[in-house]
Structure 1
Amino acid sequence: MKNLLYIGNKLSKHGVTPTTIEILGPLLEQEGFVVSYSSSQKNQARRLIAMLWNVFQYRKGDCVLIDTYSTTNFWYAFATSQLCRCLKLKYIPILHGGNLAFRLKNNPKICEMIFRYSFQNVSPSLFLIKQFKAEGYENVIHIPNAIELENYPFLEREKVKPNLLWVRSFAKIYNPIMAVQVFASVKEKYPEATLCMVGPEKDGSLLDAKQRAKDLKLDILFTGKLSKLEWINKSKEYDIFINTTHFDNMPVSLIEAMSLGLAVVSTNVGGIPFLVQNQKEGLLIPDNDVDKMVMEIDRLIKNNDLFGKITANARRKSEDFDWQIVKLKWGTILK
């Protein structure tokens, strides 16, 4: 299969953080695949119409890749997959939604219409494979999210400083307010502490975070959306990467942080423990537990050996996600 249509949210030109379609698609092109994309329409209704029209136009193509999420965008996957079935087109859902397990239990018939008839289901997360197999889906394989590791230089930090970095879209599901609250407590112990929050606005959470910071009289650097290169360069000024999400699957930002030598402190939700082993490649805490996250940050600052062990293990783990390895798995099912 050389000619591919990739269905997903290609919205970075509208100020949104690039999703897998804008990372995986170009990597497949590097390997000789001809990839068409849909859609970059900002309006949701227009985006769905564009996706369906592009599937119809592509009806004599080889295969359709469909980024599959668990919230509103779940219905894009449903609609486009059913058109693929009508046109007898091979399609591959790529399972991203951290809450897809909820869909499997609450929309079983619709899920069956999508996933039972696919050419293959691809999950970047071992967590979702476990969930899908528990519901009787055997046609699901693990292909992790990929990074080009050569673009992520490992920085060995000699002395741990209370400098925190948060990278995500500002959305309630990612709980940015918790990062502000954590920083407030860290700042009480370490007045020199800093926090940088990188990412675009999504649902009003950026304004909420800025207001909370103002109320608490905290000096937080809100950068807005940065390019990949910009935030990689910015990461050199920070030591600890905090991930405050309520739900997650296999976030690329976490893999990137691990590859760069940042120590990860994350909520223990969804697919995170399948990526980060607690006390080995990072420190995991219960969802929304501000006090526990502050405690673990304090441990890292006071214990250089722990910091060094975790960051070294995390870098080794991140090597599993290098495109030079991951591309072989894609090649197996696409060629």
Structure 2
Amino acid sequence: MSADFSAITVTLVGPKAPPAGGMANQTAQLKQLLENSGAKVSFVAVNADYKPAFIAKLPVIRALFRLPQYCCALYCSYAKADVIHLMANSGWSWHLFAAPAIWLAKLRNKPVLVNYRGGHAEVFFQRSWRLVASSIRQSAGVIVPSIYLQQVFNQFKQTSTIVPNILDPKLFYPSINDKTAKPFHLIVSRNLEAIYDVATAIRAFDRFLPHYPNAILTIAGSGPERPALEALVAQLALTGTVKFVGRLTSSEMASLYRSADVMLNSSLVDNSPNSLIEALASGVPIISSNVGGIPLLVKHEFDSLLVPPAQPELIYQQLCRLHSEPALKQRLIANGLESSKRFHWSSVSLILLTQYQQAMAKKGIGI
């Protein structure tokens, strides 16, 4: 059973899809779960549609054009809010969207919780911490989804509380069907961007396929790297066994996980990726790079197999282990299902409600 948010009005500030990246998905899921738990939620998108639409075609100008509309939406929404939940990221996103949201909350005398989720946090803070800290000091607190980000904030003497990413166990759950008679199905479920290095996963599959010719690879996601990745697939003569399915809805993604035998993640930079959490809950063994916060999210040889980044040969070796060692595969699945429980809304909602209550108390708002 989840916590009861029925006495709270929340302004949720964050990105909407498209693009449907991890933060947009978490924002949408949080809104739905808060409403299902009784909260009144007003959503302000940091990437609202441009009005008029042609402004979207004008770089730089479009950002300046969006800012006044964004700030106006914030100011109006804050009027009835008990607490503001701000989904924050690194870089220009912080300066253009997070900082204004915090200072407007100060103007309205409303408590704002900064839910920081930037994978490039350490580099960004090293460059801009003085400016970032001036805004964070106006907030009621900082919450982060992972130990990794908490450690980054600790380096800059800023306290934070871990509120894990949210998982919907009604959507992501293991398949009950026998997969042994089907092709050995590998999946990649990351955006097709350079930092996720999907090319390494493709090269690992290229090594694996000659020894296990019934294997197939499905790549779910979109992004600027798709043409280069499709060219790599063609160059390696993998066109018949590698399928690009584009961006999927949450329910389509859940179905893809249930069809999979292994999930590959070869990212070069990462924090606490939802895709790994979803794979754990779906009973899919994970082979992942060990970058950023991933070793703090999953544990090598317990609920995942971790390798150094940009090493297709090492991913291939772990694939061979999973294919030939059923006991290893079953151990990873069982431990992964147990690990995923800490991301269930029934657990996360209790932590989040406490954070809301503490933030509201700082402004004298009771429930």
Q: TM-score, normalised by structure 2?
A: 0.84
State the partner residue of 2:59. none
1:305 maps to a residue whose letter is: A
Q: Could you tell me how far apart the structure 2 residues matched to 1:50 and 1:189 are?
A: 57
Contact 2:288 2:307 in 1 (8 A): yes
Q: Are 1:323 and 2:328 matched, yes or no? A: no
* Partner SS state of residue 229, structure 2: helix
1:63 aligns with 2:69: no
Contact (CA 8 Å) 2:175, 2:259: kept in 1 or not? no
1:130 counterpart residue number = 151
Question: Which amino acid in the other structure matches residue 165 of structure 2?
Answer: N
- 1:190-226 Cα offsets, whole Å, 9 max, x none, are 222110001123xx21121111111111131111111
SS in 2 for 1:287: coil
Which of 243, 251, 273 in structure 2 is aligned with 1:251?
273
Q: Confirm whether residue 114 of structure 1 aligns to residue 139 of structure 2.
A: no
Distance 2:202 2:93 in 1: 29
Show the 5 A alignment for 1:210-249. 210-219=230-239, 220-249=242-271
Task: Count how many residue pairs are aligned between Structure 1 and Structure 2.
Answer: 331
Distance in 1 between residues matched to 2:87 and 2:233, nearest whole Å? 35
Which of 272, 275, 297 is the aligned partner of 1:275?
Answer: 297
Residue by residue over 1:294-335, the C-alpha shift from the partner in whole angstroms, topping out at 9 and shown as x without a partner, is 111111111111111111101100011111111111111224
CA RMSD of aligned residues (A): 2.1
Answer yes or no: is 1:169 the counterpart of 2:176.
no
Contact 1:11 1:41 in 2 (8 A): no
* Alpha-carbon distance between aligned partners in 2 of 1:148 and 1:292, rounded to the nearest angstrom: 32
CA contact (8 A) 1:2 1:33 kept: yes
Q: Give the residue type in structure 2 aligned to 1:187.
A: L
The answer to whether the aligner puts 1:22 opposite 2:41 as a matched pair is no
Q: Larger Rg: 1 or 2? A: 2
Is the Cα–Cα contact under 8 Å of residues 165 and 240 in structure 1 kept in the other structure? yes
Deviation at 1:116, TM superposition (A): 2.6
Note the residue ranges of structure 2 that are not aligned, 5 or more in a row: 1-6, 50-55, 57-61, 358-367
Q: How far apart in 1 are the matches of 2:156 and 2:20?
A: 37
- Report the counterpart of residue 303 of structure 1 in structure 2: 325
1-side partners of 2:263 and 2:157: how far apart? 36
* Mapped partners of 1:236, 1:260: distance in 2: 6
**Partner letter of residue 271 of structure 2?**
N
User: How far apart, in 1, do the equivalents of 2:328 and 2:295 lie?
Assistant: 19
Question: Aligned pair 1:53/2:75, yes or no?
Answer: no
C-alpha contact 1:242 1:265 (8 A) present in aligned 2: yes
Q: TM-score, normalised by structure 1?
A: 0.92
- String of CA shifts for 1:202-257, please: whole Å, max 9, x gaps: xx211211111111111311111111111222223320000111111111111110
Query: How far apart are residue 88 of structure 1 and its match?
Result: 2.8
Which residue number in structure 2 is paired with residue 184 of structure 1?
206
Partner residue, 1:38: 44
- Cα deviation for residue 108 of structure 1 reads 1.4
Shift of 1:34: 1.3
Counterpart check, 1:4 vs 2:23: no
Shift of 1:16: 6.0
> What is the rounded CA distance, in whole Å, between the counterparts of 2:139 and 2:169 in structure 1?
31
Find the aligned partners of 2:271 and 2:25 in 1 and give their Cα distance: 13
**Matched residue, 2:161:** 141
Q: Would you say 1:79 and 2:79 are equivalent positions? A: no
In the alignment, is residue 205 of structure 1 matched against residue 225 of structure 2?
yes
Offset of residue 49 of structure 1: 3.6
Q: Distance in 2 between matches of 1:47 and 1:273?
A: 38
Which string of whole-angstrom CA distances, capped at 9 and with x for unpartnered residues, describes residues 154-197 of structure 1?
23667596421111221112112222222211113222211000
Does the CA-based 8 Å contact 1:198-1:223 persist in structure 2?
yes
Letter in 2 for 1:28: L
In structure 1, stretches of 5+ residues that fail to align are: none
Percent sequence identity is 23
